[in-house]
Structure 1
Amino acid sequence: MVEVFSTSVQTVEETTFLLDKFQKEFPSYTINFDLEDCDKILRVEIVDEIIDPNPVIRLVKSYGFNIEVLSDEV
């Protein structure tokens, strides 16, 4: 499953910092940022499990960043 979030993360340094925190908190997740996208995308992926977005949101917000789940719009 993949969950996509919009964030307020702006720099490579911020992504590096957060990726380190994610690796410690959610070692089974594959996580990456797309700072080129206007929504500063955070993509979280895991095989064979449903992602609960709430812990991801809490972690990002705990470091002062804004984050919200992007809805699947067609």
Structure 2
Amino acid sequence: MVEVFKTNVAHGDDAKNIVDQIHQNFSEYQANFDLEDCDLILRIQCPNGVVCPHSIIKLLLVNGFEASVLPDDFQPLATLFTRP
């Protein structure tokens, strides 16, 4: 599963620190930032299960940052053409 967060982490050193803490606390998570994106994206993948958004948001809050889950805007093609 992949979870994507909008953050206010704007600097590379802060992003590295957060990613290091995520990897220390959640060994099964693979995390990375996209600081080039306007939403300062934090992307977390858990190949063996579900990402716990509340734990990630709390970890960022403890470090003085904000994060929120970005909604999944994906709609299967079939639902786009289905009449109500």
Please give the TM-score of this superposition, normalised by the length of structure 2.
Answer: 0.83
Distance in 1, Cα, partners of 2:50 & 2:24: 19
- Structure 1 residue 65 corresponds to structure 2 residue 65: yes
Highest relative contact order (Cα 8 Å, sep 6+), 1 or 2?
A: 1
Give the structure 2 partner of residue 3 of structure 1: 3
Distance in 2, Cα, partners of 1:19 & 1:47: 17
Look up the SS of the partner of 2:19 in the other structure. helix
- CA offset at residue 48 of structure 1? 3.0
Distance in 1, Cα, partners of 2:32 & 2:55: 16
- CA offset at residue 26 of structure 1? 0.7
- CA offset at residue 49 of structure 1? 0.7
- Structure 1 residue 48 corresponds to structure 2 residue 53: no
- Structure 1 residue 23 corresponds to structure 2 residue 10: no
Calculate percent identity across the aligned residue pairs.
39
Deviations 1:17-73 (A, max 9, x none): 111111111111000000000000000001131112110110011101010000012
Look up the SS of the partner of 2:42 in the other structure. strand
Aligned residues: 74
Unpaired runs of 5+ in structure 2?
75-84
Tell me which stretches of 4 or more aligned residues in structure 1 moved more than 2 Å: none
